[in-house]
């Protein structure tokens, strides 16, 4: 796929290790908040609103830093900050709720310093012709890892505690730092960070405008959004076990592998528009089923439909996104555009968690159903815009 195969294997492995870390800081962190805080939905909402506000602000700052230098260095700083973020769980333990502001800052900083340069690596180092193959391979490897890791983490947390499990995650972070030294630096340029020029380019290009709108909706419901958190809370409350949450997460990963392979074999560039629409409609139908017939069975059906199909929708979105980032109008302004896109992505996340905070404050089940329907319906809007996305 690339001359420097060793480097690309390192990128994929770094991504897989990050996925493992995010399993711990995603569904299992949500479960941790549920057990640590009586008003878990409020705590989770405040944590995420603070985190994504920091991420929004620093996406521009990090873009400015890495425009013509320090790309690899900034990436390593992101890994180290994530190391500190996980370490905070070990040190704070049950007092973590009292230090939400600190944990939020660490998460926001680590994510911005990590993903801004990482996304730029993916844009620069992978040809558009190889994009689909790379994404399917990356997703498949990540999902294979995710089959065993959730059960392992769930078992570890059940048998020991979050602090002991966090030590294992720290070791994984350390391995990421070592792997980062395999990456070759991208040559520096003399180009200056220029948001105004990029904004003018966006105003003249429909595809770029659509990418930003997709970013907002993605943050609202797909990419670490409020709906994912709500789904995890529902499942955990239904089964009240980290081990069961781990098993269900592993089943999701198996199905994600199957669907990614089927997409690559049968649907890539063939009937893709119909597939994209299908991927957004089925989660809505499963949500209606859950709301009408609330039971553990309908919760599982909804959880599986949402997480499996949205994962594939997200992968198709990623392929289209990075292909468009290589168009001539953006070739010198990719970092600026990635920074602006991060702003829209995190505005969407903040919007979703503000709604979740409202639910937590009112403790209104009817309002929860309304918000879930609103978030899920936005997927149909997302799919329609994605189908219109072209170079």
Q: How many CB atoms lie within 10 A of CB 266?
A: 10
> Which 3 state secondary structure label does DSSP give 246?
helix
- What radius of gyration, in Å, describes the C-alpha atoms of the chain? 20
Q: What is the pLDDT of residue 388?
A: 84
What is the predicted pLDDT for the residue at 344? 94
Question: What is the pTM assigned to this prediction?
Answer: 0.81
Q: In angstroms, rounded to a whole number, what is the distance separating the alpha carbons of residues 313 and 386?
A: 9
Cα 92 from Cα 228, distance rounded (Å)? 25
Q: How many CB atoms lie within 10 A of CB 185?
A: 10
Domain that holds residue 181: 5-387
The three-state secondary structure class of 67 is coil
C-beta contacts of 84-92 below 8 A and 24+ residues apart:
84/110, 85/25, 85/110, 86/21, 86/24, 86/25, 86/166, 86/169, 86/170, 86/173, 87/166, 87/170, 89/32, 89/162, 89/163, 89/166, 90/163, 90/166, 90/167, 90/170
Q: What is the pLDDT of residue 1?
A: 47
Answer whether 206's CB lies under 8 Å from 30's CB.
Answer: no
Read off the CATH number of the domain in which 61 is found: 1.20.1250.20
- Count of domains forming the chain: 1
What pLDDT is recorded for position 351? 92
Question: What secondary structure does DSSP assign to 147-180, as a single string?
Answer: HHHHHHHHHHHHHS-HHHHHHHHHHHHHHHHHHH
Q: What is the pLDDT of residue 29?
A: 61
The helix/strand/coil state of 212 is helix
- Selection from 123, 125, 115, 122 nearest residue 62 by Cα: 115
**pLDDT block averages, 10 residues each, the chain of length 391:** 62 79 63 56 83 90 84 86 80 74 86 85 71 73 69 62 69 82 74 83 85 90 78 74 70 83 77 86 91 87 87 85 67 80 92 88 83 87 86 48
């Amino acid at each position: 796929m690339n001359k420097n195969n060793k480097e690309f294997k390192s990128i994929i492995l770094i991504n897989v290790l990050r996925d493992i870390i995010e399993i711990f800081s995603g569904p299992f962190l949500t479960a941790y908040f549920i057990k640590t805080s009586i008003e878990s939905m409020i705590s989770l909402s405040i944590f995420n609103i603070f985190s994504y506000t920091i991420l929004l602000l620093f996406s521009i700052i990090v873009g400015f830093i890495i425009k013509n230098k320090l790309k690899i260095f900034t990436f390593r700083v992101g890994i180290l900050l994530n190391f500190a973020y996980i370490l905070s769980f070990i040190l704070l333990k049950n007092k973590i709720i009292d230090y939400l502001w600190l944990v939020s800052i660490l998460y926001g900083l680590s994510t911005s310093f990590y993903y801004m340069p990482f996304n730029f690596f993916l844009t620069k180092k992978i040809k558009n012709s190889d994009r689909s193959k790379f994404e399917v391979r990356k997703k498949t490897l990540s999902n294979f890892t995710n089959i065993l890791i959730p059960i392992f983490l769930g078992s570890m947390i059940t048998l020991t505690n979050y602090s002991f499990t966090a030590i294992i995650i720290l070791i994984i972070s350390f391995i990421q730092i070592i792997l980062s030294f395999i990456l070759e630096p991208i040559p520096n340029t003399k180009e200056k960070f220029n948001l105004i020029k990029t904004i003018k380019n966006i105003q003249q290009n429909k595809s770029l405008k659509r990418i930003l709108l997709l970013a907002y909706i993605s943050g609202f419901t797909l990419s670490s959004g409020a709906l994912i958190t709500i789904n995890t809370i529902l499942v955990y409350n239904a089964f009240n076990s980290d081990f069961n949450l781990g098993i269900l997460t592993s089943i999701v990963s198996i199905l994600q592998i199957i669907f990614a392979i089927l997409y690559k074999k049968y649907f890539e560039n063939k009937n893709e528009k119909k597939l994209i629409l299908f991927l957004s409609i089925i989660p809505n139908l499963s949500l209606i089923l859950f709301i009408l017939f609330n039971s553990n069975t309908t919760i599982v059906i909804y959880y599986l439909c949402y997480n499996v199909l949205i994962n594939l929708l997200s992968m198709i979105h990623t392929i289209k996104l990075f292909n468009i980032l290589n168009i001539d109008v953006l070739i010198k302004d990719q970092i600026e555009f990635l920074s602006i896109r991060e702003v829209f992505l995190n505005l969407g996340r903040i919007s979703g968690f503000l709604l979740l905070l409202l639910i937590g404050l009112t403790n209104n089940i009817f309002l929860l159903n309304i918000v879930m329907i609103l978030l899920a319906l936005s997927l149909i809007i997302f799919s329609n815009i994605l189908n219109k996305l072209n170079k």
